[in-house]
Amino acid sequence: MDNINIKILAKKLNISTSTISRAFNGSPDINKDTKERILAFAKEHNFLPNHYASNLRDKKSRTLAVIVPEIANDFFAQAINGIEEIARKKGFYILLYRTDDVFEKEVSFINYLNNGKVDGIIMSVSGEANDHNYLRQLEQKNIPVVFFDRVYEDIEAAKVITNDYDSSFAATEHLIDTGCKRIAYLVVNKSISIGKVRMQGYIDALQKHGIPFNDELVIDCSNDEKVNYGILKKVLEELKPDGIFSSVERLAFATYYVCHDLNIDIPRDLKVISFSSLHIAPLLNPPLSTITQPAFELGSKAASLLFDELESKGLPIQKKQHVLKSKLYIRKSSGG
């Protein structure tokens, strides 16, 4: 009973394997009655066509890979939901992989996938000025890739991003409007695409309002909570900014913790605004002003684009960059 397969079924039903195959694949060339008989019998005997055998024949896996830096993160979790939604509709499986923002893990995973394991890949990248040839090899094997949020500029692929420059500009301008003169920009890696673009919005907004850009106020943080706490504590004590624009949610949280310990009152002493997908931002103390990206939509759009490519049957498709809009929610942390 361990190994029911199409042949055994065929024997038991006194019918050929081809007919059984047809019953399962919606082929029009089959008698309705035989089909029903087969499906009923198959169900009774707990038979389902083996995916791996089918995949081997078809060179199609109905599976796609999702590669993200983190999973336990509101933004990515919601994006994955969006991807899942579309994939489910198409009857596709999702293979999930987390890079922890380590470039080597990304490379190694992609290399593993380079053999028909998946039909396509959706990813938010974890490196920047590196050699991206491992991705070019996918092209050769006709495995399409779609980037979302964090992209590689030098790779030609469909991309879904948000209007980060505009949002950053607007957020910075908002802080300036509330009276901030010394606005610090918090970033995890200012060299990656996202860090760069968001910083440019910040810089240009300062310039527009005649505030000199101060390199010192660009705070390069890490992925380690404790390290960030230390960095930010020093910044708040020594540089005494009056505004914080955080390009990443968790740096805003770290700021909150530091302010609490240093008795710095938000928003009186320090205004804070941050990129964040946190649903309960209004419940924080004080409610956090956020630039909220349409995470779910980024995911579902990316998935849709991937399916467009898969369904284009190799015909060249326009691989352009799609820009979705984030929303600015002004709350109490920035004086709202």
Partner DNA sequence: TTGTACGCGTTATCAT
Partner DNA sequence: ATGATAACGCGTACAA
Residues at the contact surface with DNA, assessed by CB under 7 A: 3, 5-7, 14-22, 24-25, 27-31, 34, 47-50, 53-54, 56-59, 115
Chain positions 271 to 290 lying near a second copy, rule: CB under 8 A, are 279-280, 282-287
Q: How many CA atoms lie within 13 A of 164 on its CB side?
A: 24
**Nearer CB in complex with DNA: 31/137:** 31
Cβ-contact 131, 121 below 8 angstroms: no
**Nearer CB in complex with DNA: 44/58:** 58
- Segment contacting a second copy (CB under 8 A): 34-42, 120-128, 135-143, 211-219? 135-143
**Nearer CB in complex with a second copy: 141/240:** 141
| Residue of 49, 68, 67, 66 whose CA lies nearest to 58 | 49
Two tokens, residue 281? 């931002």
Residue 41 interacting with a second copy (CB under 8 A)? no
Residue 94 interacting with a second copy (CB under 8 A)? yes
Q: How many residues does the chain have?
A: 336
- Rounded to whole angstroms, how far apart are CA atoms 65 and 148? 13
| Residue of 327, 328, 308 whose CA lies nearest to 317 | 308
Q: Which does 312 bind (CB under 5 to 8 A by kind): a second copy, DNA, none?
A: none
- Rounded to whole angstroms, how far apart are CA atoms 38 and 47? 10
* Shortest spacing between CB 120 and DNA, in angstroms: 18
Cα–chain center distance at 278 = 15
- Rounded to whole angstroms, how far apart are CA atoms 211 and 214? 9
Two tokens, residue 195? 């860090």
Q: Which does 280 bind (CB under 5 to 8 A by kind): DNA, a second copy, none?
A: a second copy
The CA radius of gyration of the chain, in Å to the nearest whole number, is 26
Cα–chain center distance at 5 = 39
Residue 80 interacting with a second copy (CB under 8 A)? yes
Using the rule CB under 8 A, which residue among 6, 23, 42, 78 binds a second copy? 78
Q: To the nearest 10°, the Cα dihedral for 18, 24, 25, 28?
A: 70
* Shortest spacing between CB 68 and a second copy, in angstroms: 11
Q: Which does 28 bind (CB under 5 to 8 A by kind): a second copy, DNA, none?
A: DNA
| Residue of 302, 308, 309 whose CA lies nearest to 324 | 302
Using the rule CB under 8 A, which residue among 16, 18, 27, 50 binds a second copy? 50
Instruction: Give, rounded to a whole angstrom, the gap between the first and last alpha carbons of the chain.
Output: 67
Q: Which helix (H) or strand (E) holds 103?
A: helix 103-113
Using the rule CB under 8 A, which residue among 19, 69, 86, 97 binds a second copy? 97
Q: Which does 117 bind (CB under 5 to 8 A by kind): DNA, a second copy, none?
A: a second copy
Q: Which does 7 bind (CB under 5 to 8 A by kind): a second copy, DNA, none?
A: DNA
Q: Which does 321 bind (CB under 5 to 8 A by kind): a second copy, DNA, none?
A: none
Residue 33 interacting with a second copy (CB under 8 A)? no
**Which residues in this chain contact a second copy in the complex, by CB under 8 A?**
1-2, 46, 48-53, 55-56, 61, 63, 66, 71-74, 77-78, 80-81, 84, 93-98, 111-112, 114-117, 137, 140-142, 253, 256-257, 279-280, 282-287
